Amino acid sequence: MEIDLIVGTRPNFVKMATILHAINQFNRTREIFSYRLIHTGQHYDHALSGSFFEQLDIPSPDVNLEVGSGTQAEQTAGIMLAYEKLLLKTYSPTICLVVGDVTSTMACTLVAKKLNIKVAHVEAGIRSGDLSMPEKINRLVTDCLSNYFFTITQWASDNLIKSGIQAHKIELVGNTMIDTLLRHENRLFQPSCWSEYALRTKKYIVLTLHRPSNVDSPEQLEKILRIIENNSVGIPVIFPIHPRTKEKIKTLNLALGAIKPINPLSYLEFNYLVKNSGLVITDSGGITEEATLFRVPCITLRTTTERPETVEIGTNELIGDKLDKISSYIHLAFNRKWKSSSIPSFWDGQAAERIIQFLYDRLEP
């Protein structure tokens, strides 16, 4: 059985790492699966270096389509053209497996379906209700065309059922990102900022910002940073920052004080920082999952989330643009008065094994 494994961004590699591991484990007893790891090149990320692949114990991509950056339309078209050319030049796999909701996910799904190749979508059924997000459109299109649907929670499965997907095509498997984190948790290590800023366990905040609504407007970015700085009450705020955002901050008339911008961290370093923090402030969906696993209080600076389980039973609080809430939530976190939480069902490190077993049961003659 030939599988094309599609990745386009760094989070895709994190989610795919455990699937690669599960395939290799399955093949130890019976050589059933062969695969190509295909990187579309949607994001050129300096962090995707040899050390990144070594940390996650995954091979370098078999194919890099090298599409690069561009507008949504340019990237979608470029990925579709490059992936179709690869398929026509080489061979058609039994199945095309896509993860998440990035442009590569949708574009490769379109190409595969038009060439009559089955598509399996990992993290299917996730919904934010916000059509202004490109990721929302990518999810909807991918779920409309996929043949098999692997979900993180029952809520995601229910979303698919409501949209008309037949139940036998849906499998609640759990979270592959959590799989990868659990598998490498004992290998997390301190970043250099730990000693540089004399950090202590549960005595600092981790801040990440990348959504255009939060960082593209200098006024909005300054407002967020000023509120966090004014309410940090001397607690260090470690801010792994994208170079583009870093340049924007330089133009602001703002003394950062407790906010400590640092360069982006490796996967193992960043998750060490999250695990040992007292609070996370973010606009990233993936980080809310990691914070929930580690039972770390988390504030999300968005009005919607495609991961409601992190709010309903996890550690996450969604505050949208009500930035005045930051002060009270910082107080709750550092006075150990945060809401009680639990870890969602099936977030047990076995999601990838369930995916591979499902594909074997459905597709092996």
Q: Are 174 and 346 in contact (CB under 8 A)?
A: yes
* Pair of tokens at residue 140: 């909807």
Where helices occur in 57-211 by DSSP H, the ranges are 72-89, 103-114, 134-145, 154-162, 176-184, 193-196
In the sheet where 316-318 sits, what is the strand order? 259-262, 237-240, 205-207, 279-282, 298-300, 316-318
Q: Which helix (H) or strand (E) holds 6?
A: strand 2-7
- Of 39, 43, 121, 210, the active-site residue reads 210
- Look at residues 256, 329, 344 and name the one whose alpha carbon lies nearest to residue 299: 329
210 is catalytic: yes
CA pair distance 2, 359, nearest whole angstrom: 11
DSSP one-letter code for 318 = E
Q: Are 111 and 80 in contact (CB under 8 A)?
A: yes
Neighbours of 60 (CB within 10 A): 13
DSSP one-letter code for 344 = P
In the sheet where 63-64 sits, what is the strand order? 63-64, 34-39, 2-7, 95-99, 118-122, 148-151, 170-172
* Residues recognised as catalytic: 210
